[in-house]
Chain A
Amino acid sequence: MESDSISHTSSPSASNCKDISRKKRRSAKLKQCKLDARREQWLSQIGAVKNKVCCKEGTNDGDSKQTQRGERDRSLENFEMRGTAEVNGEGENVSVQHESDSESFPPNSHTSSSLLGGMDSGTSFTNSSSSSTSSGGCCSGSITEEEGGDGCLDDWEAVADALAADDDKQELDPNENNKENLCLGSTPGLEPNPQLGSNGEGSDLKNSEPECPRMVQRATRSCRAWRADDTFRPQTLPNLSKQRSFPATDRRFGQGGVSWMRSSAFSVPSSCPICYEDLDFTDSSFLPCLCGFRLCLFCHKRILEEDGRCPGCRKPYENDPVEAEASVQGGSLTTRLLARSCSMIARS
């Protein structure tokens, strides 16, 4: 921390030329193997990472640079994954900067938390810097803001890795992540900065809450069996209800029908031709007339109450509706009995 802040304060105070000088200085330090080793180190310390989660999240609010940072994060990630040294210059420099940060310090998340302190507000920075006996004056405010942003970058990446690593563990408990962050937020690194703690906590709660339910949803969705009406259901899965109604269709082929109705009667209609409402499974297994004209039970009942003739062949419905299927479920059996009793009433 000391060397870090010192190096920054020693760099030109004007932020734009400082950027340029930093780029030059840090691009020289870039060594991929070193980076990877550092990353391993970082990952091994989940606690530190977690702490950074809240630090990172804590800086989200009201920072206009957040979107830029997000882009940089992505480029950083790519850069680390590919292992090539050349991605866009800025991202590189940033990551190098952080490696150097962690290099100069025991990786106990002290840097990031103190950096965040600077990030959150000038006062908090002075708090943390005073406790860490840093000589960073008020002129380092702008610098630390930059640093805070960079810190976010590195943290973000590490957090993403860590989250991916123990995703399955955390999926089970939506609050686990939260709790961890909470307790970590209250004990950040070396100095218990109350402002930082509260900041990190509050915003972390805000930010992690939408995240966790998403993960849980994913988990539940993955272990749930496909439902017939599931939109994510693969098309290749056979439709059980359709399969069950196929024998009825086959059966009807031998029985003929009214010529003008035949085209629509051969394929089981998806909707009742009378009321145009969708046929459910009970309806589509209901075959009230030998001609093969299908309709929903509701319309069948209404027709029985009126003239009692099949709309397809105009012959009066028989008392006994044709047994559509031998293997109907209990529910449809009762409805069929009901329909039969209705037709009995209509006849008598």
Chain B
Amino acid sequence: MKASRARLFKEYKEVQREKTADPDIQLVCDDSNIFKWTALIKGPSETPYEGGVFQLAFAVPEQYPLQPPQVRFLTKIFHPNVHFKTGEICLDILKNAWSPAWTLQSVCRAIIALMAHPEPDSPLNCDSGNLLRSGDMRGFQSMARMYTRLAAMPKKG
């Protein structure tokens, strides 16, 4: 508990210090609870998520960093490894491949990488996974782009 708090506090300071280092990631700590974080990540370019801004919610366990943080999308996203309803993310580093050397910042980077490189073989969103597995890249991209436009982009007009 104490160690996780100290570590999160140091991470917070690190984030404050290197705010401009990664312009695609905005990591914000909850005002009253250092175990609750939110992040805004930009959809990677040359993907259907380009131009969208996706919000992530971090719930950090007390055993952090020995236990991984629980991360989910607050913004709707059409992605084979993200649950469409709950926003749950299927990512190995958030499960069994977690390492205490990872930080919240690096988790954000990993999620951006996951958006650019979906893993259709272990889908949480079966529709999305099936489109990709069947090779319907066009179908997947148009669906993903539509949801990006609907949920992750500022409303026009």
Q: Which residues of A contact B (CB under 8 A)?
A: 261, 273-277, 293, 299, 302-303, 306-307, 309, 311-312, 314
Contacts and interface: CB of A to CB of B under 8 A. Distances in A.
B100 A311 contact: yes
Nearest to B3: A275
A299 B66 CA distance: 9
A234 B101 CA distance: 35
17 contacts: A273-B101, A274-B100, A275-B3, A275-B6, A275-B7, A276-B6, A276-B10, A276-B11, A277-B6, A293-B101, A302-B3, A306-B63, A306-B66, A307-B66, A309-B99, A311-B100, A312-B99
B31 to A, nearest CB: 22
Contact of A274 (B63, B65, B97): B65
Contacts of B63: 306
Contacts of A303: 66, 100
Nearest to B6: A275
Interface string B52-71: 00000000000101100000
Majority DSSP secondary structure for residues of B touching A: loop
A314 B99 contact: yes
B101 A302 contact: no
Given A274-B65, A306-B66, A311 B7 contact: no
Given A275-B3, A275-B6, A314 B97 contact: yes
Q: Which 8 A-B pairs have the closest CB atoms?
A: A276-B10, A311-B101, A311-B99, A311-B100, A274-B100, A273-B101, A306-B66, A275-B7
B101 A312 contact: yes
Contacts of A309: 99
A92 to B, nearest CB: 58
Contacts of A302: 3, 66
A299 B101 CA distance: 11
A317 to B, nearest CB: 13
Nearest to A309: B99
A262 B127 CA distance: 38
Contacts of A293: 101
B63 to A, nearest CB: 8
Chain A contact residues, majority secondary structure: loop
A261 B100 contact: no
A302 B67 CA distance: 12
A135 B6 CA distance: 79
Contacts of A273: 100-101
Contacts of A311: 99-101
Interface string B94-122: 00010111000000000000000000000
A312 B10 CA distance: 20
Nearest to A276: B10
Interface in B1-27: 3, 6-7, 10-11
Contacts of B65: 274-275
Given A303-B66, A306-B66, A261 B101 contact: yes
A276 B11 CA distance: 8
A276 B63 CA distance: 15
A309 B68 CA distance: 14
A276 B105 CA distance: 15
Given A261-B101, A314-B97, 4 more contacts: A273-B100, A276-B10, A299-B100, A303-B66
Nearest to A293: B101
B101 to A, nearest CB: 4
B110 to A, nearest CB: 10
A277 B10 CA distance: 9
A261 B100 CA distance: 12
A63 to B, nearest CB: 51
A313 B7 CA distance: 21
A14 B16 CA distance: 69
A261 B7 CA distance: 19
A322 to B, nearest CB: 18
Nearest to B66: A306
A57 B65 CA distance: 63
